[in-house]
């Protein structure tokens, strides 16, 4: 199993451009998450999904959109990139069948710079 | 409100010295607690977790953590630090509601040779 795979690893965007951060997992996990990590701020939840076709907002959803058409994929869309979206983005998933003590499985992150 | 506090932003220790990273939480029910480690350019890797039973839990890479309900703490320890332990460490609690996890702001560990 590859686990959680994120692409691209790095990206530089100009203000106002759009892009999609890709996330796919091959573990058949139902729950998937998008976090952003900023220095000294820890991880903030952007969006999460409890299964195909179901998504919900986290703490910092503004400026982002998500979709979940399959169990495996959970892409994050930035429509109008802003400098405040410069961050490292992590996708994660959990195997909900094992209950609430399930740890998150993380991808290796996408480092995004908006200039 | 649920929260996790890691009071130390940076910690520097010498190789071979002992280590303790602090984590305090605020949570309405019995917490599920986790420690993750993040090496530069990498995602977060689970070190250990606590959800019930023995309050001293063992993890990978020689780490352990002790759950103290009376102090709302879940401190991470290692008896002898190796240079490869230099990384950022995150404490997390959860999940609450619909499987949301709350992370602390992290402690960056530097190891001196």
Which residues contact residue A106 at a Cβ distance below 8 angstroms, ignoring those fewer than 6 apart? A4, A90, A91, A92, B36, B43, B44, B45
Binary contact (A103, B95; C-beta < 8 A): no
Q: How far apart are the first and last CA of chain B?
A: 41
- CB A7 within 8 Å of CB A74: no
Residue B3 touches chain A, beta carbons under 8 Å: no
Check pLDDT > 90 for residue A62.
Answer: yes
Q: Chain A interface, mutation test: which of B99, B102, B104, B107, most A Cβ atoms within 10 Å?
A: B99
Q: Which position has the token pair 């999460």?
A: A48
> Which residues on chain A are in Cβ contact (under 8 Å) with B46?
103-104
Confidence of residue A109 (pLDDT cuts 50, 70, 90): very high
- What residue of B is the nearest CA neighbor of A9? B41
Question: Which of A40, A55, A31, A25 has its CA nearest to residue B94?
Answer: A31
Q: Chain A interface, mutation test: which of B25, B41, B43, B50, most A Cβ atoms within 10 Å?
A: B43
Confidence of residue A97 (pLDDT cuts 50, 70, 90): low
> Which residues on chain B are in Cβ contact (under 8 Å) with A58?
100
Q: Chain B interface, mutation test: which of A57, A103, A108, A109, most B Cβ atoms within 10 Å?
A: A103
Check pLDDT > 80 for residue A41.
Answer: yes
Confidence of residue A80 (pLDDT cuts 50, 70, 90): very high
Q: What is the three-class DSSP state of A107?
A: coil
Binary contact (B103, A43; C-beta < 8 A): yes
Q: Provide φ and ψ at A11, rounded to 5°.
A: -160, 140
Binary contact (A41, B105; C-beta < 8 A): yes
Output the six-digit token pair for A87.
């961050």
Please report the residues numbered 51 through 110 in chain B whose beta carbons come closer than 8 angstroms to any beta carbon of chain A: 51, 90, 92, 94-95, 98-101, 103-106
3-state secondary structure chain B: CCEEECCCCEEEEECCCCEEECCEEECCCCCCEEEEEECCCCCEEEEEEECCCCCEEECHHHCEEEEEHHHCEEEEEECCCCHHHCEEEEEEEEEECCCEEEECCCEEEEEEC
- What residue of B is the nearest CA neighbor of A97? B99
Nearest to B49 among A56, A90, A101 (CB): A101
Q: Which position has the token pair 């503004």?
A: A62
Q: Which residue positions in chain B have pLDDT lower than 70?
A: 95-99
What would the mean pLDDT of A90-107 be, rounded to a whole number? 82
């Amino acid at each position: 199993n590859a686990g959680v795979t994120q692409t691209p690893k790095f990206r530089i965007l100009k203000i106002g451009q759009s892009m999609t951060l890709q996330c796919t997992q091959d573990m058949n996990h139902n729950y998937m998450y998008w976090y952003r990590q900023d220095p000294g701020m820890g991880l903030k939840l952007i969006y999460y999904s409890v299964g195909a076709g179901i998504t919900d907002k986290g703490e910092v959803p503004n400026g982002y959109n998500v979709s979940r058409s399959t169990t495996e994929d959970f892409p994050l869309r930035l429509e109008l990139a802003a400098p405040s979206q410069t961050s490292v983005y992590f996708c994660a998933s959990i195997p909900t069948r094992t209950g609430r003590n399930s740890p998150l499985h993380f991808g290796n992150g996408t480092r995004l710079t908006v200039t | 409100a649920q929260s996790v506090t890691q009071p130390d932003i940076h910690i520097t220790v010498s190789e071979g010295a002992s280590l303790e990273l602090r984590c305090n939480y605020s949570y309405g029910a019995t917490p599920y607690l986790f420690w993750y480690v993040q090496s530069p350019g990498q995602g977060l890797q689970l070190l250990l977790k606590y959800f019930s039973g023995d309050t001293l839990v063992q993890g990978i890479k020689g780490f352990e953590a002790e759950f103290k309900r009376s102090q709302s703490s879940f401190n991470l320890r290692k008896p002898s630090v190796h240079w490869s332990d230099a990384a950022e460490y995150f404490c997390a609690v959860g999940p609450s509601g619909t499987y949301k996890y709350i992370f602390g702001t992290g402690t960056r560990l530097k190891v001196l040779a």
